[in-house]
Amino acid sequence: MTSQTFGVQDLTLTSVSGSNVDSMTQLHDSYDLAGLTLPNRVVMAPMTRVRSNPEGLATASTATYYAQRASAGLIVSEGVHPHVEGQSNPLTPGLATDEQAASWVQVTDAVHNHGGRIFAQLMHGGRVGHPDNTGGLQPVGPSAVAAPGRGFTPKGPQDFPTPRALSGDEVVEHAASYGEAAARGIGAGFDGVELHGANGYLIAQFLSSNANLRTDSYGGSIENRVRFAVEATAGAVEKVGGHRVGIRLSPDSGIWGVEETESRELYLALLEQLSPLGLAYVHLEATTDDDTLLALRKAWDGTLIMNPARPGGPTPAGPEDARRWLDNGADLISFGRAFIANPDLVERLRDGLPLAEADPATFYAGGDRGYIDYPTYRA
Ligand SMILES: Cc1cc2nc3c(=O)[nH]c(=O)nc-3n(C[C@H](O)[C@H](O)[C@H](O)COP(=O)(O)O)c2cc1C
């Protein structure tokens, strides 16, 4: 593993807006997240690790992994499917059943006992799935349009099948599954939930202009394309309260083949409709141009978590990205890969300690190696 040697306090960056770093918010400042006190502004980004048991249950290792990272201001869990038809990858955990919810109690207890806070990311894969991952269930989507490329299955990568287009009643059912899973998650001790509206999964498929070809009230115009996202989020708010609900968005990401025409208008319309719901936060990935990201920041009155690096980009988000986005109005900064390799990331950033680099070969490899064996810098 190689190291990088820089820390937040070493930076003398000029921000896009030209702000003075010294007078600005620091990553180690505390933050009131809708009544939940975060001791710092460092968020662990959601990361699928493909290490549940075959029934989609979280394990003792899952508890150890998150507890090791409990010094994060907030942990957002790996993507967790809210509906049995929404499981995207093999060996990913769920909140689709009471048994799956019960398996998370050991995780939320461990995080809380180590002084942390954790939201569950509700990730419905939609068309990004395979019957081999769901005991034979055909993936579902807004329309019968297959995602390009191949997805993970127990037999290795396989072409994505054409999804079954959801009927009108089923759209309502799948939107409601986020709220039902949110209630199970809160019952299992999570501090809140984040709807996965990013990266080409079900919500993003509805936002899309090429995955969503519906001619009913869920497709076509911007107003119709945002409807599923708004209904799913409102359903979760109704079940557990807006202060316990966030949503993750990745404008223009193109991930898993989703295209979005008029994307800036689309996301501005979405934020406008989410605004009255009193959400804990919007979690934005830097998947589009800075102009659009800054316009979205301006349009959203509430808490903004910024994930500053492109998913799959060669360099994980680091302290320089954090500084830049704090200067540009983000309230909290999420780090993905840096948290895999640095369970003590908060301490390393605060004290300017070297950062270890994560080994991509173990991201989805299963087992405890590359999962719970990254050391802290100090003993
Ligand atoms: C192994 C791995 C798994 C990921 N799984 C998810 C996921 O389940 N949900 C999600 O929203 N993003 C997921 N992401 C994207 C990260 O949350 C993050 O946006 C991305 O890694 C860029 O941030 P970074 O540069 O700090 O790593 C994943 C990324 C990695 C590396």
Q: Are 288 and 265 in contact (CB under 8 A)?
A: no
| Ligand 1 midpoint to CA 262 (Å) | 25
Per-residue pLDDT, 17: 37
Contact 48, 79 (CB under 8 A): yes
pLDDT average, residue stretch 76-99: 98
CA-to-CA distance for 242 and 234, rounded, in angstroms?
8
pLDDT of residue 367: 97
Q: Is the pLDDT of residue 66 over 80?
A: yes
Cα 81 to ligand 1 centroid, rounded to whole Å: 16
Mean pLDDT of 45-55: 97
* Atom of ligand 1 minimally distant from the CA of 198: 11
Closest C-alpha to 279, from 334, 325, 242, 330: 242
Average pLDDT value for the chain: 93
Q: Kindly state the percentage of the chain with pLDDT values over 70.
A: 93
Helix axes 290-299, 263-274, angle to 10 degrees: 20
Quote the pLDDT of residue 14: 30
pLDDT tens digits along 206-220: 999 999 999 999 999
**Does ligand 1 lie within 6 Å of residue 196's CB atom?**
yes
Helix (H, G, I), strand (E, B) or coil at 310: coil
> Measured from the CB, is residue 124 less than 6 Å from ligand 1?
no
With a cut of 70, say whether residue 7 has pLDDT above it: no
C-alpha to C-alpha distance for 105 and 109, rounded to whole angstroms? 6
Q: What is the mean pLDDT of residues 31-57?
A: 98
374 is catalytic: no
Q: In this predicted structure, what is the pLDDT of residue 11?
A: 30
Q: Residue 143's CB: how many other CB atoms inside 10 A? A: 21
Q: Is the pLDDT of residue 162 over 60?
A: yes
pLDDT tens readout for residues 93-147: 999 999 999 999 999 999 999 999 999 999 999 999 999 999 999 999 999 999 9
pLDDT value, residue 309: 75
* Cβ-based neighbours of 306, under 8 Å, separated by 6 or more: 284, 286, 293, 325, 328, 330, 332, 333, 334
Two structure tokens written together for 228: 């599923």
DSSP single-letter state for residue 221: S
Mutate to test the pocket of ligand 1, among 4, 48, 119, 285 (most ligand atoms within 8 A of CB): 48
pLDDT tier at 8 (50, 70, 90 boundaries)?
A: very low
Q: Residue 23: what pLDDT?
A: 55
Protein residue whose Cα sits closest to atom 31 of ligand 1: 337
Give residue limits of the domains in the chain: 3-362
**Does residue 191's CB lie within 6 angstroms of at least one atom of ligand 1?**
no
Q: What is the pLDDT of residue 97?
A: 98
Q: How many CB atoms lie within 10 A of CB 253?
A: 21
User: In this structure, which topology does domain 3-362 adopt according to CATH?
Assistant: TIM Barrel (3.20.20)
CA of 37 to the centre of ligand 1 (A): 24
Active-site choice (65, 66, 201, 374): 201
